Amino acid sequence: MRAPIVAVLGHVDHGKTTLLDKMRGTLVAAREAGGITQHIGASMFPLDAIIETCKVLLGEVKVKRLEIPGLLFIDTPGHAAFANLRRRGGSLADLAILVIDINEGVQEQTRESIELLRARKTPFVVAATKIDLIPGWKPQGTMPLLKALDAQPAYVREELQNRVYSLMGQLSIHGFNSDLYYKITDFTRTLAIIPVSGKTGEGIPDLLLVLLGLAQAFMKKQLTVGDGPAEGAVLEVLEEEGLGTTINAIISDGVLRVGDVIALMGVNGPFTTRVRALLVPKPLDEMRDPRDRFNRVDEVKAAAGVKIVAEGLEEAIAGSPIYVVDSPAREQEILEKIRMEVGEIILSTDKIGVVIKADTLGTLEAAILALKNRGIPVRRAGIGDVSKRDIVEAEVVRMKDELKGVILAFNVKVDHDLEIEANNKGIRIFKEKILFRLIENYLSWVEEETTKRRLRAFESLIKPGKIKILEGYVFRRSEPAIVGVEVQAGLIKPRYPMMNDKGKVVGTIAQIQDKGQSIPEARAGMRVAISMREPVVGRHIREGEILYVAVPENDARLLLKEYYDMLDDGSKKTLEEIVGIMRKIDPLWAR
């Protein structure tokens, strides 16, 4: 059996690196033989060191039943590292630790991590970190949680319990039933919370033991590997002095040897290359010597992290699957397999949708999934910096739908000149390093723009209004008729046609005056003078008469169906009265 691959995720500054460093330091100290194996982008924690750290928690009987050789922790914590540990239909990581600061709870990147874990169907536990910051906490070192709690004052234990309850509530919002790990009877139904301190060490034995137990109990089948051709994934593509472009990779199955031909995804499609060298760092206790940072090895067995040196790796894409081509006859089949696997992600469609660019294959996949979950269609998805073609694609979409003709740039560069060109064409480029925030920024903009457009469309419509011609306030009887009116509901404006209660248009408002000054509109409650050229007072209109704004049929239909919620109560009632009048003449009016 191979060691399970364990990824560490969580919000920035919640203590991911501190926790890994503390575990590493503890395990080095616990292992008399010296340093633990350091892989590229991963640290192998051997079983004997874990057992030594967990011996207070482990009974002698249980020790004999442990079969896995240890735990392989992904050493570059964060979303990108986990996102790149992808395999078709799931994740290359067998387990994950979701690190949450117990004092801050679920934050932006925590939510993003949860979505990634859920999308990849990766089992995980919650490390509730920074328990040492609870006021009154007495540090106990790398000790099991319950023993450390026994040494705390009652008020500290109560405060920890309250914070755990709060965290359980936040996790339940995301659909998880969770509890403290030692209270759980069924780990398949309940998410385990393990309070820990990455600084002082409490709870670390518990965390290691829970991971060991979960792997041992539920993952035997997937952890059983052969010694056939290797499979894995590219974590990072890096330029190394004296070596050229190299890749840091995780090998999850089989054996990789110097001289093997490997197939992987490149920016121009799948390609093959021959492994020239395999490099692993020296053990941790020798890492201080900068003159010779790596050991050359002839082969690596799963599970392991390794730096691969080969030609043409500048083409490689982070997150790409890696397969050893074990015979020339299978080369095309394996290349096609990679094309199919990756082609689902790097896509170009005819849809009206956004353009999304990301730095790696894994992050691109995560971005597409997140967009899909929010109902946002994707026209084109690709890896690397924003290009001229992306602007052309967004421009094509913008002609049909302005709100979707945008570019979402996740953790990639945007050339200044290209950004100016995009702005000149009215194309928005949204840039973010946090996926959750990138999508929220885009959706907020869509909402803002939609509201603005709705408001503009609403403003262009003729609104309902109702006036009463005041008795004794006829200033001129005709050409134009000038009368004093009271606006009883809604509003009136110059150029608004007016009708009587029989639906007959009697004239159009030319001007509205208040205290001798022309005004652009009059609203409910105002008393103003209006002029109309068409009617004659006493023949077409009379003192004391009620007049309505003659809302055009199309405007009335739109107000009823699209913008009714934007009218005040008086305007709504008046609109209904106008519709009632007009439907006596034409029953289908404004339907």
Instruction: Give the tens place of pLDDT for each residue, 246-262.
Output: 999 999 999 999 999 99
**Residue 349 counted as domain residue:** no
Q: How confident is the model at residue 60 (pLDDT cuts 50, 70, 90)?
A: very low
Looking at the DSSP assignment, which residues form a beta bridge with residue 353?
A: none
Residues 243 and 173 in one domain: no
**Residue 430 counted as domain residue:** yes
Place of tokens 């209004």: 465
58, 69 in Cβ contact below 8 A? Answer: no
**pLDDT higher than threshold 50 for residue 491:** yes
Give Cα separations from 136 to 164, 203, 510, 589 (angstroms). 17, 17, 78, 75
The range of the structural domain enclosing residue 137 comes to 5-223
Q: Among 31-35, 340-344, 355-359, 493-497, which stretch is predicted with the lowest mean pLDDT?
A: 31-35
**Residue 345 counted as domain residue:** no
Residue-level pLDDT at 120: 84
Residues 293 and 393 in one domain: no
Q: What is the CA radius of gyration of the chain?
A: 35
The tally of domains found in the chain comes to 4
DSSP string, 430-467: EEESSHHHHHHHHHHHHHHHHHHHHHHHHHHSPPPEEE
**Cα dihedral angle (308, 309, 313, 317), rounded to 10 degrees?**
10
Residues 443 and 470 in one domain: no
Q: With a threshold of 0.75, does the pTM exceed it?
A: no
Please state whether the peptide bond connecting residue 394 to the residue before it is cis, i.e. omega within 30 degrees of 0: no
**Residue 342 counted as domain residue:** no
Helix (H, G, I), strand (E, B) or coil at 485: strand
Residues 32 and 159 in one domain: yes
- Which of 304, 334, 364 is the C-terminal boundary of a domain? 334
Instruction: Give the tens place of pLDDT for each residue, 63-105.
Output: 446 788 889 988 766 666 777 777 766 788 899 999 999 999 9
Instruction: Give the tens place of pLDDT for each residue, 182-208.
Output: 999 999 999 999 999 999 999 999 999
**Residue 347 counted as domain residue:** no
CATH number of the domain within which 245 lies:
2.40.30.10
Residue-level pLDDT at 10: 86
**pLDDT higher than threshold 80 for residue 282:** no
Residues 422 and 563 in one domain: no
Residues 514 and 568 in one domain: yes
Residues 418 and 523 in one domain: no
Give the ranges where 524-585 is alpha helix by DSSP (H).
553-561, 569-585
Instruction: Give the tens place of pLDDT for each residue, 525-536.
Output: 999 999 999 999
Residues 43 and 185 in one domain: yes
CATH number of the domain within which 419 lies:
3.40.50.10050
574, 548 in Cβ contact below 8 A? Answer: yes
What mean pLDDT, rounded, does the chain reach?
89
**Residue 346 counted as domain residue:** no
Residues 510 and 567 in one domain: yes
Q: How confident is the model at residue 288 (pLDDT cuts 50, 70, 90)?
A: very low
**pLDDT higher than threshold 90 for residue 496:** yes
Residues 185 and 322 in one domain: no
- Which of 429, 460, 491 is the C-terminal boundary of a domain? 460
Instruction: Give the tens place of pLDDT for each residue, 436-486.
Output: 789 999 999 999 999 999 999 999 999 999 999 999 999 999 999 999 999
**Residue 340 counted as domain residue:** no
Residues 446 and 479 in one domain: no
- Which of 195, 223, 251 is the C-terminal boundary of a domain? 223
**Cα dihedral angle (13, 16, 22, 26), rounded to 10 degrees?**
170
Residues 359 and 505 in one domain: no
Residue-level pLDDT at 30: 61
Identify which of 23, 440, 1 has the alpha carbon closest to the alpha carbon of residue 204.
23
**Residue 339 counted as domain residue:** no
CATH number of the domain within which 33 lies:
3.40.50.300
Strands 378-383 and 354-358, sheet pairing? parallel
